[in-house]
Amino acid sequence: MPVPESRAVQVLDTRHSPSPALADGACDTHVHLFGPADRYPYAPDRGYLPPDALPADLRALHRHLGITRTVLVQPSPYGTDNTRLLAGLQVLGDAARGIVVITPGTAPDELRALDRAGVRGVRVNLGARAANDLARARERIDATARAIAPLDWHLDLHLDAAALAAFEDLLPRLPVPVVLDHFAGHRAGTGAETPARILRLLATGRVWVKLSAPYRVTAGGDYDALAELLTDLLDARADRALWGSDWPHTGGSPATRHPDRLQPYLTVDDGLSLSRFAGFLDPDGLRRVLVENPAELYGW
């Protein structure tokens, strides 16, 4: 499915509040790169069409925020073609790491080549679809973990609360660490059961959680709306917490997205968001979450 030649390029919002003072080596563990589509074509079965979001745009944001390290995460419109991500790693150098999406049965030699390029994990993006076939999703998680275990990579899971409940017994037994995206799929105001499950998983030491993209998990759209959950998670295992901006903030939903119609990015003040997140931590805790934890997990 070709990308329309006349598609407009959205101008990324560069108006952000000042960021808090961050220690050297602070890391944004969840960002995506997109385009240009003529060089890095999207998958024919993509769910939406994103505007360009290039390494230069990412660098400008991170300079403003005081971020010096980053983790590129493979976004769904590229499917299993990691070319855009790998090109980004080349541009950003040792300050960046990558999380790719792979096909079942990817050869060990190909995985080792990805490792040399700076890849440190594999993403399994289940979203709300996992509930449609939990047994198959479980098999996919287990097989992927076993394939990447020899590389000392980790598994990055994007899932919802129902899938997390179904996989709670499996995740700590996998042969690799597991990272749960965006508050492990918990949505604020849905009760205490899911947060308790997240706490149990964190207590194993085998599972990490990204305290990222609050606008995806609460109507309030910022960390203040997640104060209780955020405090509980940090009090329980600050050494298993990560922060990510989720830049460039893709919008829409499966019901509103179209593969040939440009889906604008959400307007998010990343400086304000990071400042509010930092308000939940003292300087030592902020250094742990933004510097020490990513250095341990991603290998800096």
Which CATH number do you get for residue 44?
Answer: 3.20.20.140
pLDDT given at position 217: 85
Burial of 17 (0-12, 13-18, 19+ CB in 10 A): middle
Question: How is 254-296 classified by DSSP, letter by letter?
Answer: TTT-BTTBB-PBP---HHHHHHHHHTTS-HHHHHIIIIIHHHH
14 inside domain: no
> Whose CA is closest to 101, among 84, 123, 125, 116?
123
5 inside domain: no
2 inside domain: no
Cα–Cα distance, 113 to 94 (Å, whole number) = 16
Report angle CA 67, 80, 210 to the nearest 5 degrees: 35
Cα–Cα distance, 247 to 244 (Å, whole number) = 8
20 inside domain: no
Domain total of the chain: 1
191-232 confidence digits (pLDDT tens): 555 688 999 999 999 999 999 999 888 877 788 888 888 999
Residue linked to tokens 């085998």: 206
12 inside domain: no
Q: Give me the helices (H) in the chain, please.
A: 55-65, 83-92, 108-117, 134-148, 161-167, 193-203, 227-237, 270-278, 283-287, 293-298
Residue linked to tokens 């400086």: 271
256 inside domain: yes
pLDDT given at position 1: 42
Residue type, 115: D
pLDDT given at position 191: 55
15 inside domain: no
pLDDT given at position 15: 65
Cα–Cα distance, 235 to 229 (Å, whole number) = 10
Enclosing domain of residue 224:
27-298
3-state class of 98 per DSSP? Answer: strand
3-state class of 250 per DSSP? Answer: strand
Residue linked to tokens 């510097």: 291
Q: What is the pTM of this model?
A: 0.92
Question: Under a CB-based contact definition with an 8 Å cutoff, are residues 222 and 273 in contact?
Answer: yes
pLDDT given at position 42: 97
pLDDT given at position 11: 46
141 inside domain: yes
- The sheet with strand 241-242 has its strands ordered as 27-31, 69-73, 96-100, 119-127, 154-159, 178-180, 207-210, 241-242
Which parts of the chain sit beneath pLDDT 50? 1-11, 128
